[in-house]
Copies of this chain bind each other. A is one copy, B any other.
Amino acid sequence: MAFKKIALSNRPAGPLDDDTLKILRDGATTCRRWAVTMTTLAESGHPAGSLSSLEMALMTYAVADLTPDNASHLDRDYVVVSHGHTSPGVYSALAWLGFFDPQEAVAHFRQVGSPYQGHVERDLPGIDWGTGNLGQGLSAAVGFALAQRARGHSGRVFALMGDGEQVKGQNAEARRIAVKEGLSAVTVLIDMNGIQISGTTESVMAADIEALWKIDGWQVLHCDGHDIQALFDVLVEAGRSDRPSVVLCRTVMGRGVSFMEGIADYHGKTVSGDLYARAMAELGGDDQELEPLRQRRRDERPDGRNLTRYPIYLDTGEPRVYGPEKATDNRSAFGTALTDVGRLNEGVAGRTPLLVFDCDLAGSVKVDGFAAACPRSFVETGIQEHATATVAGAASAAGVVALWADFGVFGLSEAYNQQRLNDINDANVKLVLTHVGLDVGEDGKTHQAIDYIGLLRNTFGWKLVVPADPNQTDRATRWALSSWGNTCLAMGRSKLPVVTDEEGRPFFGSSYRFRYGALDVVRPGTDLTLLACGHMIHRALAAREILAGRGLSARVCHAATPLHIDIADLVEASSTGAVVTVEDHNVNSGLGSIVAMSLMQLGRPIRFQPLGVTRYGESGASDDVFAAMGLDVDAIARAAVDCLR
């Protein structure tokens, strides 16, 4: 089977020559055979949408400056497939263009161990963003475009979308960001086959798709989505626009296989036996290749691929040391460190660009200083958290460090699924949650994020740092900006004293180095251990004084990284034989629960008492709320005494 990369990225507009047209048309038919065959072999997958999107995928990858040679580089075009279930068509197009062996893709579609997963994933070259949950792809494209602009590269970004997913609200958010930021590099192709799982798009949930894009300021183009020349022309035309462009592609569901055309059922139904043979015959092939491919599926284990990570070059400057004479909120310490790093790096050759995102809370979340110092690196996205989470995620996977600061309930509770997808995509987002816990106070229960540990614990890649005071916040901020990976910094709202050592010097002072995983042993003690998280360290230290008055010696430790506590540190911390965890977080899902699981697996007899939030919070002054919710200093001391009983 002959195939070759047809690179059209530098072709001028106008008619393609007959040879090229024939090669591409034949290629589309070949791809159709592969797409149907892989779903038949897997007995699973989405054939009909793959066929309606097929020329869209083929021509986009043919036109894009994205090749097997440059797919792991940064300076190139990007392609996002938002309707990730059309993977059979996408894999076929990529294989035909030389990204990988087509037989391998066909043989191992939706098979354990294979990179040819049910929904497209970044494991494969040519796939820039793993999708599957609909409605996120456009946001990812916007993120890639912002990253390229920040990097000074002028490449294009393409997004392929389905028509059913057009009604997801996140798309409208992403459209507005693209227009506000003037991202003319973005070209979207929508597969307007008119059919979704439950019937026609018109009957399931009608929307005037053209008008929606127009009103938000996009150039809207139209095209026969199965016409190679028309797709080439419209892709070239979109590239000349000074606005982002969307192409509404008229297509036929199941195109090319007569009995699939226009039938909603083939959204997720595969064919076998006679129907398969008929499909192959209609596509100019036969069913003779099926058995050898089935054999290959049984006999061979394809290798999973690895995601591409890019090095970060940022000068994180000199740490700032906050003295004990003054209380500072952690969010201000974060903001100051961020501005320091911004100033040190913006415009310096060879440095990784830093983009900071804000959802209309810059002053509260303390990125206003950065915005003033580095306005070109500051992106105001309005009250649009779902899109912002994905935009930041995709940008962070494409050569910039992307930081988004927001209240805990907006940055994580509201955008949890987007942050989960950022994790699956091995992105590099820095998520700073400035208002977490009951400490938020008067804004009340809807605004008190007491789930951020419990939420991120459901992911496998996210790191979480909950700093104890302004000094640790400063160090953790500089560390996070310069280390790869999705990292969340969570902090409360209140001004906090500096944590000091027994001599009254800053505990996280000039000699302190942040190490992810380490427990901070803030005070020694022999009778029990108070293990606190974040701003609760101050209440734990005060409780230690009360306990001392009763003749009890409490060790006080701080868990800055509750998701990943070094086990040796935990063993040492719990060597008092009694552990009381103290957290401004739902007691069922946070630090206490994590520590319990570790201690339980250690199998040692340790007295254990978790202290945390046991109901939705009150609205009131922060200290009053802690008292009402049983988390004030006296309550901690009482819990410690109870634990020793």
> Does A103 interact with chain B (Cβ within 8 Å)?
no
Query: With the chains together, A195 CA to B490 CA distance in Å?
Result: 29
**Assembled-state Cα–Cα distance A206/B599 (Å):** 52
Which of A125-133, A324-332, A394-402, A633-641 is the interface stretch?
A: A125-133
Q: How many residues of A contact B (CB 8 A)?
A: 111
- Of B118, B268, B628, the residue contacting A112 (CB under 8 A) is B628
* Interface: A618 (CB within 8 A): yes
How many Å lie between the Cα of A589 and that of B205 in the bound state?
A: 36
Name the interface residues of A75-134: CB closer than 8 Å to any CB of B: 84, 110-114, 117-119, 121, 130-134
CB < 8 Å: which of B110, B164, B445, B589 contacts A360? B164
Complex interface: stretch among A22-30, A253-261, A507-515, A590-598 = A590-598
A480-B512 Cα distance, complex, nearest whole Å:
54
A583 within 8 A of B: no
A288 part of interface (Cβ distance < 8 Å): no
- Does residue A486 face the partner (Cβ distance < 8 Å to B)? no
Closest to A382 in B: B205
B118 and A457 form a contact (CB under 8 A): no
Given A117-B444, A168-B173, A410-B133, CB of A601 within 8 Å of CB of B597: no
Check if B605 sits within 8 Å of A601, measured CB to CB.
no
A446's contact among B119, B170, B386, B620, by CB below 8 Å, is which?
B119
A421: nearest residue on chain B (CB-CB)? Answer: B446
Residue from the list B121, B169, B358, B603 in contact with A607, Cβ < 8 A: B603
B132:A447 contact, CB within 8 angstroms: yes
Of residues 416 to 459 in A, which have CB atoms within 8 Å of B's CB atoms? 416-417, 420-421, 424, 441-447, 450-451, 454-455, 457-459
Return the contact of A451 from the options B180, B420, B443, B624 (Cβ within 8 A): B420
Task: Check if B360 sits within 8 Å of A458, measured CB to CB.
Answer: no
Contact A386 B113 (CB under 8 A): no
Q: Contacts of A416 on B, CB cut-off 8 Å?
A: 413, 416-417, 455
Residue in B172, B173, B417, B618 whose beta carbon sits within 8 Å of that of A409 in the complex:
B417
Q: Could you say which of A235-243, A516-524, A608-616 contacts chain B?
A: A608-616
14 contacting pairs across A/B (C-beta < 8 A): A112-B619, A112-B621, A113-B618, A118-B619, A168-B173, A172-B172, A197-B362, A207-B216, A268-B364, A414-B417, A416-B416, A450-B458, A458-B588, A603-B608
Closest 9 interchain pairs by CB? A169-B169, A205-B382, A132-B446, A112-B620, A451-B458, A117-B619, A596-B600, A44-B442, A118-B444
